Each structure stands twice: as structure tokens, then as C-alpha cells.
Amino acid sequence: MLQLSLLILLIPFAGFLILIFFGKRLPRQGDWLGTSFLGITLLMSVFLLISKIASIPGDTLSYSFSWVIIGNPDAGGFSVDLGVMIDNLTVVMLVVVMLVSFLVHLFSIGYMKDDPRYSRYFSYLGLFTFSMTGIVLTDNLLMMYIFWELVGISSYLLIGFWYEKKSASNAANKAFIVNRIGDAGMFIGIMILFIHFSTFSFDAIFSGIQAGDLPFQSTAWLTAAGILIFCGAVGKSAQFPLHVWLPDAMEGPTPVSALIHAATMVAAGGYLIARMFPILTAEALLVIAYIGAITALIAATIALTQHDIKKILAYSTISQLGYMVMALGVGAFTAGFMHLVTHAAFKAGLFLGAGSVIFAMHHALHQKHDHKTDAQDLRNMGGLKSRMPLTYWTFLIFTLAISGVPLTSGFLSKDEILAGTLAFSSLNGHYLLPVIGFVVAGLTAFYMFRLFILTFHGKHADESRVSDLKESPFTMTIPLMILAGLSTFVFYSFNPFAASGGWFFSAIERPLSLVPEALQPASAEVFAQAVSALHTPALILSIIIAGAGIFGAVWVYQWKKTSAVQISEKFGALYRGSFNKWYFDEMYQAVFINGTFIITKVLRWFDETIVDGIVNGAAYVFERFSVVNRWFDEHIIDGLVNLTALGTGVLGKVLRKLQTGKIQHYLAFVVLGMLVFYFIII
């Protein structure tokens, strides 16, 4: 199994290398190569999933090797090991990644058909899949961080794929830099754990903490390490306050949004929390739960009023990620992770469906030589149902799933999350969490049906513009149909109203908390009891709320009983706040971006004027000094020298008189000198 998992890791990387160097020379620019590679790894990971869960559900397999040795490991040094491990979490996540990646490859064959950098696109997809697989398979924090950054760079490359557009390259920069902020926190968290345990391995760190060995012997540092590592998830999973990059990331090609910015990479945050769960203290988990709840609420309120189909889906993604994070924070571990999986299927489907619509719109507008109309704006859509039936019906299933309507996968996981938050509040009194959870559920149903109705129902604003609009090709609709199938309940639990009896809940169990007893969250048993007591009320409430949300959307947008414009005017300030995304971008621009630029300008000025000024000033002083020195030299020193010279000259003149040229005189001088010498010595 381990060899197989390494193959799953390396095959996409091989695809990346082949395509980046030889892609253009391959027939069809190598799209078949990337896609078939992913097909192979998908089959492999399905095989891995089945054989792992069927034969050895309780085991964890791992393999590691020494990457670098620092110092002498026997005397204070350490070895940095890299490795992979396989447990149930891993195999489930692998299938999710490979499946969505494969379908997105397939979809992209149609969607990206005429792009000038077609093979480059597929190579980046390979790089991304490789990096994502690394995150899934790692058995240590270092590799987690390494691949964490690598998915970041693949995301950067794909968001900025159409880099001729300034908005695309801006969005790519924003995504990477905002993520770096989270990553810096994560890096510090990793350092705290590493310095204490001299290892990055999950297993070794966990067993150290279980033995009561805390970083710097302090519970505060343990909580801090947990929260700091969670910062990585805040960045990658676009949680408040770092959520601002994800909507902009929609500048990338739509299939990329489906793969990276909806189904897999952004869910990596959830995966990270799930991995670190055993060492998160109750306080850290509470922070996580509230961050998730705040994120879910903020994003859902923004999604209500947007016009861009992809932006709405982006905010809905943020909101759903908030759900997952909140679920993990309250201890509804399995529900949170299950939502990650179900969300991956239906959100990938929603994005690919939106991609199908955009693709069709784009081509229809292109036929009419209309390059002004925005192919992604809801106001330019409507009535597409009859023209794109496959897209329509699959989109309906995805919308039902995300709204949490029974018989869908989304219902199963969302219901469990809501029951979990209720149970948590019944144990700890944090009632805000379930309230937010239910409100967001209603908002989600409302804005998703708003999107759905405005896109497919009603009449198109201007029929003539879309008269050439037709259904997308099969490479694009087949992935939609597969994902629609996967958005039904049967794949997760045979009981459409409760996930807890299905294979998923028995395969993915909440791990034991390993932190000291006083810091532990409510134990899994206590929590499970509370959940089962509250499950039925949560179930009923969530169905009612989803129904209310859907009804509201139908009331306003389908039957037009109440005008949306009137509602928005009534809630003027709130509407503007929501429409302008609560002004986060403006705030960050004013405080952080402008602040940074002011600092850089000040420092540049400081560097050029003060630091260099001192240097040049010193040089100037020395130069002046040297001028004085020169005067001194020329007049005083040289004067002395000249004086000496003069003296010497005079002496010479005198002495010259002695040089008569007569040998007798010289002899006389010599004798005289010797006599003088003689008398001096004696």
C-alpha cells in the first residue's frame, strides 16, 4: 500500500515534468497524458481506499527516511525524516483529491480548448495534484509545510494563468501573500513543536505530548502552537480575517476554481486541523470554532447580494469552509470531515456547472461578436434551462445538496454539523455557535436558489444575445453527471436522514485528545451522547430552515412577489455593506497595504538620507579635514621640510668651501676628525 501511495504521489509530478518540458511537442499538447495519468492515480486511490477500509481499518501504515542529519544524532543532534503515512483520513482524502482532479482534467479538455498555453495549463494541474497529494500523505509537519507552500505556488500560477490581465496577476499576488501571512504563523507553530521535540513527525510529537511533555513545559505554549498552526488553515481555507484572497482568486480559469479554490486546496485547512486534532487544547479548539462561525456568517451575508456567478460561489465556499472549521472546533470531527468530502463533490460540481454556463455564454456572445457583455454576470443570464438541460439538472442537484435538502449528501453532513454545534452549546453554553450555524444554513439555501433561479429560470434579458447558446460538449457534461451522482446520500450512508450509521462514520472516528486532561475538550463519548439527544430537533430545524431559505428565494426571484430592489432599499446600509463585502478589502488596503508602503517609503528615505547621509557626511568631514590637512601639509609641514632643506642647503654651501679637491686638505680633515673622535670617546 505504501508503494502504491508513493506512486500516487509521483505520477502527477511526472506528468508535470513531461508537460512543462515537452508538452508543446506532444500530440494534442499532451492533455491526454495529464488526464490519463490522473485516471490511473484515481483508480489506484480507489483501490487503496477499499482495501484499507475493508481489510485493515484500524491500522496506520507509515514509511519514513532520513532526509538530513544535523549534528550527531547521538549527542544533541537530530535527523530530519520525511515520510508518508496511510490511515483512514488519508485514503478518503486521496480519493477526493484524485477524483476531483481527474474530472477537472477531463472538463478542461473542452473548457480550455483554444487557449494558447494549453499544455502549460495541464502541467500546472499536475504540479498542483502532486503538491496536494503530498499534504494528504505526509506523516510530519515539515512535509506538511513544504507541500502547503507548493500548493500555494500552484494556486498562484493558476490564478495568474491569464497573466496578461492585470487583475489576474494582482489576484495571484494577493492569494500568495495573504497565504504567506497564515503560513508564517504556521511556521512559528511548527518551530515551537520542533524545538521541543527535535522532530517533525506527527507520531513522535503526539506521543511526547501524550506523555505530558509540553513545549517549554507550558500549557500556554501548547495552545499557542495549536492556534499558530491553525493560522496556516486560516490562510489556505480563507477563514476570517484572511478570507479576502479567495473571491479574487476567481480570476483563474473556472475548472481551476473548482479544483483548487473549492474542492481540494482550500479544504486542506480542514485536513490540517483534523490531523492536528489530538494535540489541540480546548481553548485552541474554541478559537477555531469561533473563527469558523464568524467566517461562515460573514461570507454568507456577502454572497446574498453579488452579481458575479463565480463570486457568489466563492463566498459560498468560504462560508462552507467556515462550517467545516467550526465543526472541527466544536469536536464534531467526523461531521466536519464528512462535510469536507461532500462539499468537495457538490461545490466542484457547482463550479464546473458555472464553468459550463460561462463557456456557453462566452461562445454564444463570441458568435455575435459581443465582447462587452460580461459572461459571468447573473444579470445577463436567465432562461438557460431549456438551452442547457444537462447543466441545468445537475446544477439543481448541487444546489439542493449545498442547501441541505434531504436525500442529498450535503444534508447528511450539514445536519450532523448543526447537531454537533447544538450539542457543544448544551455542554459549554456557547449558544452563539448553533445560532450562527442555523442562520447560515438559511442564508445558504436562499442565495444558492437565487443564483440558480436567476441563471436558469425566467426569461433572458435579451434573447437575441444568446440565440446561439447551446449545451457544452460531453467532456464537460460527463464530469457534471458523475459529481451529481456523488452528491446523493447513498455514497455516504444508506440512511438518508442520518450519517452516523454509514461506513463513513465508522471509518473516520474522532481521534483521542492527547493533551493534559485539564485542557481536553469534552470527550468523544460525552459529546456523542449530547449529539444523539439533540439530533432529531436539529434535523427538523435544519429542514425547516433550508425550506424557508428556498421558499424565500422562490418567492422573490421566481414568483417575484416581492421586489429584490425594494428589499435592498429597505435595508440600505446593510445591503451596501453586504454588496461591498463589508469593506474588508478597503480596510486592508488602507491599513496594511498603504501602511506597508508608508513604512517602505520611510525606510527608503531613512536609508538614503540618514544612514547614507552619515556615511557621506563622514566622508565629507574627512574630505574637509584633508583640505585643512593639505594646507597644513603644504604650509607647515612642507614649510618645515623646506626650512630643513634650506638649512641643508646653507650647510652645503658652507661645507662646499671645504671641498677643495686637494688630497692634503682631506687628509688633514681626517686626522682632525679622528682626534676629535678620540677625545670624545676618552
Partner 1 sequence: MELQFLGIGILTWILFLPVAGMILILLIPGERIQAIRITATAITGLQVILAAVIFRHFDRGIEGINSIEGFQFVEQFSWITVEAVPWFGRIEIFYFLGIDGLSVLMIMLTALIGLIGAISSWTITKQVKGYFALYMLLITGMMGVFLALDFFLFFIFWEVMLLPMYFLIGIWGGPRREYAAIKFFLYTFVGGILMMLVMLALYFSVAVPDPVTGELVHTFNLLHMMNPAYYVEGSLLAGVDTTWRYVAWMALFINFAIKIPLFPFHTWLPDAHVEAPTPISVILAGVLLKLGTYGLLRISFPIFPDGTMYFMIFMAVLGMISIIYGAFCALAQDDFKKLIAYSSISHMGIVVLGIAALNTQGMVGGVLQMFNHGIITAVLFLMVGVVYDRTGKRGLNDFGGLANQMPKYTGIAMVGMFAALGLPGLNGFVSELFSFLGAFEAYRWIAIVSVFGIIITAGYILWTLQRVFLGKTPEHLTNLKDLTTRELVCFIPLVILIILLGVYPSPAIELMNTSLSYLVQVVTVPAY
Q: Which residues bind partner 1 (CB under 8 A)?
A: 67-72, 76-78, 142, 145-147, 149-150, 153, 156, 160, 163-164, 166, 169-170, 172-173, 176-177, 180-181, 184, 187-188, 191-192, 194-195, 596-597, 599-601, 603-604, 607, 611-612, 615, 619
Give least dist CB 663 to partner 1, A.
41
Q: How far is CA 36 from CA 5, 353, 394, 425, in A?
A: 17, 22, 25, 48
The residue assigned the cell 460538449 is: 473
Residue placing its CB nearer to partner 1 in the complex, 239 or 317: 239
Count CA atoms within 13 Å of residue 336 on its CB side: 32
Q: Which is nearer to partner 1, 82 or 92 (CB)?
A: 82
Least distance between partner 1 and beta carbon 230 (Å): 16
Nearer to partner 1, 70 or 591 (CB): 70
Of the two residues 175 and 417, which places its CB atom closer to partner 1 in the complex? 175
Decide whether 31 or 183 has the Cβ nearer to partner 1: 183
Q: Can you tell me whether residue 469 is helix, strand or coil? A: coil
CB of 74 to partner 1, least distance (A): 11
Query: And the C-alpha cell for 229?
Result: 498552526
CB of 662 to partner 1, least distance (A): 43
28-55 as b/e: b if 16+ CB within 10 A = ebbbebbbebbebbbebbeebbeebbee
HEC profile for 141-173? Answer: HHHHHHHHHHHHHHHHHHHCCCCCCHHHHHHHH
Take residue 332 and report the three cell numbers written for it.
Answer: 464534531
Site of grid cell 444579470: 379
What is the identity of the amino acid at 492?
Y
Of residues 91 and 136, the one with the C-beta less far from partner 1: 136
Instruction: Give the nearest distance from C-beta 240 to partner 1 in angstroms.
Output: 19
What is the smallest separation between the CB atom of 133 and partner 1, expressed in angstroms? Answer: 14
156 vs 159: CA distance, rounded Å: 5
Element (H, E) at 63: strand 61-70
Nearer to partner 1, 604 or 635 (CB): 604
At 211, give phi and psi (nearest 5°).
-75, 5
| Among the listed residues 505, 121, 183, 536, the one whose alpha carbon sits nearest the alpha carbon of residue 342 | 505
For partner 1, give the closer residue by CB, 166 or 656.
Answer: 166
- Distances, alpha carbon 32 to alpha carbons 57, 119, 148, 305, 592, in Å: 35, 10, 27, 40, 45
Q: How far is the CB of 166 from partner 1 (least distance, A)?
A: 6
b/e per residue 419-442 (b: at least 16 CB within 10 A): bbbbbbbebbebeebbebbbbbbb
Which CB, 63 or 221, lies closer to partner 1? 221
Q: Is 520 helix (H, G, I), strand (E, B) or coil?
A: coil
Closer residue to partner 1, CB minimum distance, 121 or 456: 121
**Is residue 150 packed enough to be buried (19+ CB in 10 Å), middle (13-18) or exposed (0-12)?**
middle
Q: Are 234 and 291 in contact (CB under 8 A)?
A: yes
Beta carbon of residue 73, minimum distance to partner 1 (angstroms, whole number): 11
Nearer to partner 1, 158 or 550 (CB): 158
Beta-carbon contacts of 187 under 8 Å, excluding residues fewer than 6 positions away, are 145
Least distance (Å) between residue 596 CB and partner 1:
7
Nearer to partner 1, 21 or 494 (CB): 21
Residues contacting residue 223 through CB under 8 Å, at least 6 positions apart: 281, 283, 284, 519
Closest distance of CB 137 from partner 1, Å: 15
DSSP state of 635: I
In the complex, what is the shortest distance from the CB of residue 236 to partner 1, in angstroms, rounded to a whole number? 14
